[in-house]
Amino acid sequence: MKIAVLFGGMSAERDVSIASGAQVIHALRSRGHTVIPVDPATGVVKPEDEAETLRAGVGVKPPEHEVLEQMRATDVAAMLRAPELDGLDVVFIALHGSFGEDGTLQAILDAAEIAYTGSGLLGSAMAMDKDISKRLFVQAGIPTPAWLMAPADAAEVAAQIGYPAVVKPSKQGSTVGLTVVKEQAQLQAAIIEAYRFDDEVLIETFVPGRELTVPVLGETALPVGEIIPRSDIFDYESKYQPGGAQEIFPADLPAEESDQLKQLALAAHRALKLRGFSRVDFRRDEQGNFWCLEANTLPGMTAASLFPKGAAAAGIPFPEVCERICTLAIQEHRSRRRVFTQSGF
């Protein structure tokens, strides 16, 4: 296959995306595929620049907002017509956060009739918006912590959410801009911090207990994983720095609880109309109840990421995972085109 790997971009998760892209490029090449690296912030990466571009690691904190603001997206539609991308079979999206994960890029690729990995425009947009995704979880009978959207009256937060509370941007990942608020006096500062990364802010009940995650590949839930972070939450530093958290696959759970969690993950995946692959995050409270936090449509693919670890626990090596994701994308693309053709479009 000839595959373009899109990575980097201009979101707060740029560094994570570069790390994911580097892993995916290496994995797909190890399977004999032709791989073209593409950064939407700069365009097709030239062979002589590739080593330097992919070498950047993930820092303790996300890139500064001012640095990201200085970047300007290339004309993606024109970029996809670059001669290096002639005869492309599929685009592997290794972007995270806005533009790559929110449906914008998916719309461009749909219009260009190019196969791409992961969920489509609608699923990507709904999962990225945590307010919308939680509404759909409730509709599907999937337990999710209570939430309000800012601005919210302090008395309303105290009565409906309580403390501690989680304050986070509605459309971000990697816990960027997230704060655990332990008392009302900290609430406004946390909301202001979250607004730095998004125009909508979610205030959610904090669920103490075990942090669990379920990778989904195709229509199959992979082994459940448990994350034991150094701090109260699985924050940006814990996710991407060595020793930041202990990640156990498969999680130490009774078989019936593991099965229940897998079914909830698949229900969340379907409620949001996701496809290809995803990762659904949960909390297990002290009474043994599961609470769905969110679904990730483009989970991280770095060396420290949870999705590859879940696949490995299922006996699927990372290069094979990447190849399967590409194959699923091509099959989905062909299926959609067949439907459109039969419908007379």
Question: Which residue in 14, 210, 275, 279 is the catalytic one?
Answer: 279
pLDDT in tens, 94-127: 998 778 889 999 999 999 999 999 999 999 999 9
CA distance 243 to 147: 31
Question: Which strands make up the sheet holding 2-6, listed edge to edge?
Answer: 43-44, 34-39, 2-6, 90-93
CA distance 124 to 54: 26
Are 244 and 61 in contact by the 8 Å Cβ rule? The answer is: no
Confidence check: pLDDT of 56 > 70: no
Is 50 one of the catalytic residues? no
Percent of the chain with pLDDT over 70: 87
The per-residue b/e assignment along 237-249, b for 16 or more CB within 10 angstroms, e otherwise, is bbbbeeebbebbb
Is 281 one of the catalytic residues? yes
Give the per-residue pLDDT at 72: 58
Report all structural domains of the chain as residue ranges with CATH numbers, in order of start: 2-118 (3.40.50.20), 128-143+209-318 (3.30.470.20), 147-205 (3.30.1490.20)
Question: Which residue in 21, 296, 305, 323 is the catalytic one?
Answer: 296
Is 296 one of the catalytic residues? yes
Give the per-residue pLDDT at 78: 77
pLDDT in tens, 198-249: 899 999 999 999 999 999 999 999 999 999 977 665 454 554 455 567 899 9
| Residue reference for tokens 């080593």 | 51
Exposed/middle/buried for residue 341 (C-beta within 10 Å: 0-12, 13-18, 19+): exposed
CA distance 53 to 189: 36
Instruction: Using alpha carbons, list the distances in angstroms from residue 23 to 59, 154, 277, 317.
Output: 17, 44, 17, 13
Is 294 one of the catalytic residues? yes
Tell me the backbone φ, ψ of residue 261, rounded to 5 degrees.
-65, -40
Is 240 one of the catalytic residues? yes
Per the structure block, which two tokens stand in for 155? 């008395």
Question: Which residue in 13, 101, 211, 323 is the catalytic one?
Answer: 13
Instruction: Using alpha carbons, list the distances in angstroms from residue 239 to 16, 175, 198.
Output: 10, 9, 21
**Which residues is 279 bridged to in the sheet?**
215, 296
Count CB-CB contacts under 10 A for residue 182.
13
Is 279 one of the catalytic residues? yes
Are 273 and 335 in contact by the 8 Å Cβ rule? The answer is: no
Are 279 and 214 in contact by the 8 Å Cβ rule? The answer is: yes
